[in-house]
Amino acid sequence: MYKPTKKVHCYKLTFLDEFKQNSQNSRNSVNPNTVFANNEMSLHDIEIYGFDYDYTLAFYSRHLHTLIFNIARDILIQEHRYPEGLREYEYIPNFVVRGLHYDVQKALLMKIDAFHYIQLGTVYRGLHPVPDKEVIAMYDGCHVPLENMSDFYGKSSHGHTMKQFMDIFSLPEMNLLCCVNDYFMKHNIDYEPVHLYKDVKAAIGDVHVKGIMYRAVEADMENYISYGEQTHAVLNKLYEDGKKMFLITNSPFDFVDRGMIYIVGKDWRDLFDIVIVQADKPGFFNDRRKPFRRVTDKGVLHWDRIHKLEKGKIYKQGNLYEFLRLTGWRGSKVLYFGDHIYSDLADLTLKHGWRTGAIIPELRKEIKIMNTEQYVHLMTWLQGLTGLIEHMQVGGEVRPPNDLTKDIFNSQFGSLFRTYHNPTYFSRRLSRFADIYMASLSCLLNYDFQHTFFPRRTPLQHESPFWPEQTSAGALKMPFIPHRTTTEE
């Protein structure tokens, strides 16, 4: 059990009363229904709202993760001739978090921070953690060079040895990779990690491409789709205010149509000015070669050239440059929402100046944890102890509270947003590519269309803390938002 030295204990007593007071002052909870801003943005300027479908308009229950895992596992066994013994593995909820990196050549899953440093204690081979000393030996420290990191879209290509799992659909893929690795190690089977990664990736892809997942969801909407009423309320609010809306999704029309009928009703297409399916994002945002093609309700493809994107009609593929030419919807009057920071948002904000909103469902769980008395106590003590350690230059004693704050979110990988003091690599990309972010679209119901979102001004490391919430020890307090009354739990 962790015990501070006498010197640290003396400093602790000196500041204890102040930290207790700070802890009491921090009991204003963060509202999980808040829209958080990385960049100033006014809804007054937004005339057009765009949406992805999966995990943006349609939210899925955890049953879907289990379904994807089971189908992909069986594909590995039946089509890729993997051992029958893999059937003993089942999907493990809460084992992994989004945003993790996977070293394809070493078969290691890990969390990396915004500065490309591996968070020790979060490196897993199969279902078991790798000792810190072994990790340091393999990577000659904890830093991962830029050329080894995943590419711009989080993929392992063109010499990059890391793959970053950024979307929610990747949770069963990470689970399956860990389970297959675990089986091979447990049975002392020699295998090539690169082949394993490609086979698992292909199996997961087949679940989508072959329509297996789509058919299962369509057959049992009630079991798989959640949050329908909130999505309907947001779309109606935008429609009644005269906003234009469009949908760009990689999913096929039949799947989207049945889902939107379940969520909104048979007249869902009346809400949208343009509907584009099987768009092949992120290629949709970069490849100028693919023209739009109209598709009927029955899936029949038309061969005529598209001169106008019309309301009530369905279009397939296409590209953003043609979309901009046909609609004239350019720049900061457009706000697009998606859950995949790379495939949905990155190109739009970097190349086209659209405003972007990230949907991060994990926020609800993390904020609920942050609002607990246990978390506030741990953070208050950690901030105070960090200030004392910095003053006294005694480095070893800051680790135990850090480990506790990791375990409170996820015992394997910790928070989606932090690696101890630093933001995660996921957080870094989120802050770069999303103007605003929220747990679900329903958070927009708390704001009118004149609202301006401002990022909180927190001092840079070289700036003096001018406002009274700063502690005298020099550690910044966590920002909190007073609770806002809403209709959503």
Same domain, 267 and 307: yes
- The answer to whether residues 353 and 327 belong to one domain is yes
Assess if residue 444 is contained within a domain. no
Mean of all residue pLDDT scores within the chain: 87
What is the C-alpha separation between 267 and 258, in angstroms, rounded?
12
Asked whether residue 426 is domain-assigned, the answer is no
Beta strands, E only, 155-259: 162-164, 225-226, 244-248
Residue that is last in its domain, among 183, 218, 253: 218
Please give the pLDDT value at position 226. 86
Of the candidates 360, 384, 406, which is a domain's last residue? 360
Residue numbers in the known binding site for GMP are 54
Q: What is the pLDDT of residue 396?
A: 54
Position 428 in a domain: no
214/256 same-domain check: no
pLDDT class for 402, splitting at 50, 70, 90? low
Contact 412/95 with Cβ under 8 angstroms? yes
Q: Which residue has the higher pLDDT, 332 or 8?
A: 332
Are 208 and 258 contained in the same domain?
Answer: no
The percent of residues above 70 in pLDDT, for the chain, comes to 85
Residue recorded with tokens 């208050």:
380
Residue 476 scores a pLDDT above 60: no
* Burial profile 433-445: b = 16 or more Cβ within 10 angstroms, e = fewer: bbbbbbbbbbbbe
- Residue 145, pLDDT above cutoff 60: yes
234-285 residue pLDDT tens: 999 999 999 999 999 999 999 999 999 999 999 999 999 999 999 999 999 9
CATH number at residue 252: 3.40.50.1000
Contact 166, 98 (CB under 8 A): yes
Using CA atoms, how far residue 140 sits from 102, 108, 117, 135, 161, in Å, is 17, 15, 12, 8, 16
Spatial distance between the Cα atoms of 267 and 237, rounded to a whole number of angstroms: 15
Predicted local confidence at residue 3, as pLDDT: 55
Question: Are 250 and 134 in the same domain?
Answer: no
Residue 469 has pLDDT above 80, yes or no: no
On whether both 162 and 93 belong to a single domain, the answer is yes
- pLDDT value at position 401? 58
Supply the range of the domain harboring residue 22.
1-30+361-415+450-480
Q: What is the pLDDT of residue 279?
A: 96
Tell me which range, 382-386, 466-470, 480-484, is most confidently predicted by mean pLDDT.
Answer: 382-386
Q: Are residues 247 and 385 in the same domain?
A: no
Q: What would the pLDDT profile of 320-345 be if each residue is shown by its tens digit?
A: 999 999 999 988 999 999 999 999 99
pLDDT at 259 (0 to 100): 96
Residues of each annotated binding site? 52, 54, 339
Query: Which are the catalytic amino acids?
Result: 52, 54
The pLDDT value given to residue 171: 97
pLDDT tens, position by position, 35-66? 999 999 999 999 999 999 999 999 999 999 99
Structure-model confidence comparison of residues 181 and 22, the more confident one: 181
> In terms of Cα–Cα distance, which of 137, 38, 32 is closest to 458?
38
**Short-list 251, 472, 270, CA closest to 340:** 251
Contact criterion met (CB below 8 Å) for 79 and 73: no
Q: What are phi and psi of 463, to 5 degrees?
A: -90, 150
> Which element (helix H / strand E) includes 335?
strand 334-338
pLDDT at 16 over 70: no
Number of domains composing the chain? 3
In a domain, 265, yes or no: yes
Q: Report the alpha-carbon distance of residue 257 to residue 264 in Å, rounded.
A: 10
Rounded to whole angstroms, the Cα distance separating 201 from 63 reads: 20
DSSP annotation of 153 reads T
The pLDDT value recorded for residue 439 is: 96
Same domain, 372 and 458: yes
In a shared domain, residues 162 and 138: yes
- Residue 118 carries which DSSP code? B
In a domain, 285, yes or no: yes
- Residue 89, in any domain of the structure: yes
Do 300 and 178 lie in one domain? The reply is no
Q: Report yes or no on 398 lying in a domain.
A: yes
Evaluate whether residue 7 is within a structural domain.
yes
Please give the model's pTM, rounded to 2 decimal places. 0.87
Residue 395: the pLDDT is: 54
**68 to each of 28, 97, 482, how far by Cα in Å?**
39, 16, 39
Q: Give yes or no: residues 74 and 157 share one domain.
A: yes
Helix axes 170-186, 193-209, angle to 10 degrees: 140
Last residue of a domain, one of 315, 342, 360: 360
213 and 74 housed in the same domain: yes
pLDDT in tens, 335-394: 999 999 999 999 999 999 999 999 999 999 999 999 999 888 888 887 777 777 777 765
Instruction: Report phi then psi at 294, rounded to 5.
Output: -80, 140
Check whether 454 has a pLDDT greater than 90.
yes
Above 60 in pLDDT, residue 468?
A: no
Q: Which residues are annotated as a binding site for Mg(2+)?
A: 52, 339
